[in-house]
Amino acid sequence: MRRGVWHQFGHQSQTLAKDVLEAGVGVGVIVSPRDLRLDTAVERAEEFRRLGADVLLDPQFHVPGFTNENIATYNLESFRESVNTLRDIPDSDLSELADRLVEVNRRLGSSAVMAPAVLYEAGQREIERLNRRLFSAAQHAAEELGVPVLSTVVLGSSVMSSDETLSAALGAATAHNCDGVFLACEFEALRVPSSRALVERFLNASITIASAGKPVMHGYAGPMALLSFAVGAQAAAVGHFQNLWQFSRDRWGPTPAQGGGPQEFPPRRFFSSSLWGTIVYPDETALLSDPVARLVLTHSPFSGPVSSHADWKPSDSWRHLVYIVGDRATTVAAAGTPRACAAAACAVLDSAVALHADVKREVSLRDGADSYQAEWRDALNAVVASRRDDYDFFELLLC
């Protein structure tokens, strides 16, 4: 698993990922069957590899009953059944699933096989058993291809409700004989999680897996990629839409019908590295005094018009966000050990909390854009203090 930031695919991600890779941010991409036909994905994968990026396919069995026209092109349709149906899948069908995973990952040139896995839910032992069996199919596929196999661990909100339910799920999920773990979490927050207790629980999950010797990729990380490397992750996967900033089962429901009129975009939000959050452009940014604006408007290759309050394309605002999050997370990862990465991440959040105080004297921010920075910092500091032995262990490994 390459260390660094990966591009988590969603709707309208492919050209964005190419542009941000060309700008120097990112080491890999994660293909989404939900959002991309297989033939297009194969063409794009070759393009990404030419840019030096690795490619992974997420089979996206998280909510297995969901399908659409794109998913159907991957020839995995017959396995997308309800949990109740899948749990009784015969061994012969698992062998067929392994064969199909070989086929699609070979066509994509995947650097590893990501195991299909259903969303983990508290107290549902049949899901644990099913995920073990699905992992075995991925393991056989990886052996056939001669590449590593990644266990997929997506923690449902019920799992995250207590330390006990989380511990039980992690015990089952980490029993797989894998080469790494793709770890994601359903927080059920509107945008990003702002509960210190919930964030701390997830950070503990990451360092628990990493300290057991499993390389971790923090999936659906979004702005939380700032924290990923501070809790032992090797990689963090970032996307531009808010439904890629945490695992969201809403993505696996019916696609809303599109009206016949012109498409309307929500207000553009400028992602500021110094705020570690968004501010509405130009409604809020135009109200900032010049000294504060100079601190807030941290630029990227995609933020050209912003200083003059000129029109800014939504697609460029998305590229800017992914570039800024990826670039700063890469800088944090370069600090080295998880303890050093934690110090670097906390320094960003400390500065963000202080700058938000200046901003709020001039602008009333929307969407709780300043609600989580202090909570994340405090959660990370608590994990570093409580898991001192794990952090010492990581430093010994890297000596």
Is residue 312 one of the residues assigned to a domain? yes
Strand partners, 114: 150
Task: Indicate if 240 and 277 belong to the same structural domain.
Answer: no
Q: Is the pLDDT of residue 90 over 60?
A: yes
| Dihedral of alpha carbons 94, 99, 102, 105, sign | negative
Higher pLDDT, 337 or 13: 337
pLDDT in tens, 287-302: 999 999 999 999 999 9
Residue 261 in any domain: the answer is no
Q: Name the DSSP letter for residue 265.
A: P
Strands across the sheet containing 4-8: 54-57, 28-31, 4-8, 235-238, 216-218, 180-185, 149-155, 113-114
Counting residues of the chain whose pLDDT is more than 70, the rounded percentage is 95
* Cα end-to-end distance, the chain, whole Å: 20
- If asked whether residues 200 and 227 sit together in one domain, one would say yes
Mean pLDDT of 317-333: 97
Q: Is residue 86 part of a domain?
A: yes
Domain boundary (218, 252, 286) is at 252
The per-residue pLDDT for range 119-129, each reduced to its tens digit, is 999 988 889 99
Residue 259 has pLDDT above 50, yes or no: no
Within this chain, do residues 245 and 272 fall inside the same structural domain, yes or no? no
Domain that holds residue 13: 4-252
Confidence of residue 188 (pLDDT cuts 50, 70, 90): confident
Residue 263 lies in a domain: no
Q: Is the per-residue pLDDT at 255 higher than 60?
A: no
Q: What is the pLDDT of residue 6?
A: 98
Q: Which of 191, 225, 252 is the last residue of a domain?
A: 252
pLDDT score of 391? 95
Q: What is the CATH number of the domain that holds 131?
A: 3.20.20.105
pLDDT band at residue 257 under the 50/70/90 scheme: very low
What is the per-residue pLDDT for 320?
97
Type of residue numbered 233: A
Cα 388 from Cα 390, distance rounded (Å): 5
Sequence-separated contacts (24+) of 309-314 with Cβ below 8 Å = 309/282, 309/285, 312/268, 312/281, 312/282, 314/265, 314/268
Residue 92, pLDDT > 70, answer yes
The CA distance from 124 to 101, in Å, is: 26
Same domain, yes or no, for 304 and 366?
Answer: yes
**Of all helices (H) and strands (E), which one includes residue 7?**
strand 4-8
- Residue 271 phi/psi, 5-degree rounding, is -85, 120
pLDDT of residue 399: 62
Task: State the chain's mean pLDDT as an integer.
Answer: 91
**Is pLDDT above 90 for 83?**
no
In 33-138, the DSSP E strands lie at 54-57, 113-114
Q: pLDDT value at position 85?
A: 72
Angstrom CA distances, 290 to 89, 354, 358, stand at 63, 17, 12
9 falls within a domain: yes
Taking the CA atoms of 242, 246, 251 and 253 in sequence, report the sign of the dihedral they define: negative
Q: How confident is the model at residue 12 (pLDDT cuts 50, 70, 90)?
A: confident
Confidence check: pLDDT of 199 > 60: yes
How high is the pLDDT of residue 19? 97
Name residues whose C-beta falls within 8 Å of residue 299's C-beta, 6 or more positions apart in sequence.
306, 307
Residue 96 sits at φ, ψ, to 5 deg, of -65, -40
> Is residue 299 domain-shared with residue 366, that is, in the same domain?
yes
* Interatomic CA distance for residues 236 and 222, integer angstroms: 8
Q: Which residues contact 352 (CB under 8 A, 6 or more apart)?
A: 274, 275, 276, 277, 373
Domain count, the chain: 2
Based on the fold, state whether residues 152 and 86 are members of the same structural domain.
yes
Q: Hey, which residues does 150 pair with through a beta bridge?
A: 114, 180
Least confident of 15-24, 76-85, 192-201, 354-363: 76-85
Residue 260: the pLDDT is 45
Would you put residue 35 in left (φ > 0), alpha (ψ -120 to 50) or beta?
Answer: alpha
| Least confident interval from 109-113, 252-256, 282-286, 300-304 | 252-256
CA gap 98, 82 in Å, rounded: 19
